[in-house]
Amino acid sequence: MVRVHDGLNARTVAVILDSQSVKGAETVGQDTRGFDGGKLINGRKRHLAVDMRGMALAVMVIPAAPYDSIPARDQLFRLRLTHPELAVAVAVAVAVAVAWADSAYGGTLVGWSHPFLGITLKTVPRRKDQDGFAVLAKRWRVERAISWIRRARRTCATTRGSSPTARPTSPGPSSLSWSAVSPARPAHRARHHIPSSQ
């Protein structure tokens, strides 16, 4: 509905991937948490796929330990199942289904995604002269979606366990999806003066 309101096709053929590691509290069980050696965070990792508007298309929450390219196969496969238009676009040659991501998603995943799923994976690396934060082509859209999630009170940290005796489960894919969708709604953009297309 948001895409149609912005004058775009209701279905997308381009996505951007990224992940975010979040520290888990003591109440988070060992079976659902891991250590991200790159970020030095012990907790869970959120894998997010968004369209060119920043709307969440696929969300996964897993232990933080696995390198991004490993769960990315499962994420791309789920994306292919839930959004068949990505493959249909290739079949009818209307457009090429493309997924952009950072260099952590490179390697064998690039050569695997197109033959098996019909999705062309392209990496957007940091510039060689980059020092600190810099806006990168395509990737800024998923970074913005992650910032929307971080600002949501229910998803800013993982503080609850998932055992039968624990309090309600920690923020899962549905909560993360809603946090990423809400700021992109027309009503929200009108209040906060967010352009419909950037």
- Domain membership flag for residue 188: no
CB 71 within 8 A of CB 183: no
Residue 64: pLDDT over 70: yes
- Domain membership flag for residue 114: yes
pLDDT of residue 198: 44
Burial class (CB in 10 A: 0-12, 13-18, 19+), 108: exposed
The pLDDT confidence band at residue 184, using thresholds 50, 70 and 90, is low
What sign does the CA torsion over 75, 156, 53, 139 have? negative
Q: What is the mean pLDDT of residues 105-113?
A: 91
Report the range of poorest mean pLDDT among 14-18, 40-44, 74-78, 87-91.
Answer: 87-91
Q: What is the mean pLDDT of residues 86-113?
A: 74
pLDDT of residue 66: 93
The pLDDT confidence band at residue 180, using thresholds 50, 70 and 90, is low
Q: Which domain holds residue 13?
A: 2-181
**What is the Cα–Cα distance from 93 to 97, expressed in whole angstroms?**
10
CATH number of the domain where residue 74 is located = 3.30.420
- Domain membership flag for residue 194: no
Residue 134 vs residue 43, higher pLDDT: 43
Provide the H-helix boundaries in 67-138: 69-82, 85-91, 108-117
Residue 168: pLDDT over 50: no
Tokens describing residue 160? 């609850």
Neighbours of 4 (CB within 10 A): 9
pLDDT of residue 110: 92
pLDDT of residue 183: 52
pLDDT of residue 164: 43
- Domain membership flag for residue 136: yes
pLDDT of residue 65: 92
pLDDT of residue 78: 87
pLDDT of residue 112: 92
**What is the Cα–Cα distance from 56 to 70, expressed in whole angstroms?**
20
Residue 56: pLDDT over 90: no
- Domain membership flag for residue 88: yes
- Domain membership flag for residue 43: yes
**What is the Cα–Cα distance from 94 to 134, expressed in whole angstroms?**
33
pLDDT of residue 169: 40
Residue 105: pLDDT over 80: yes
- Domain membership flag for residue 191: no
- Domain membership flag for residue 190: no
State how far the alpha carbon of 54 is from the alpha carbons of 73, 83, 107, in Å. 21, 16, 25
pLDDT of residue 68: 92
Specify the number of domains making up the chain: 1
∠185-146-131 over CA atoms, to 5°?
130
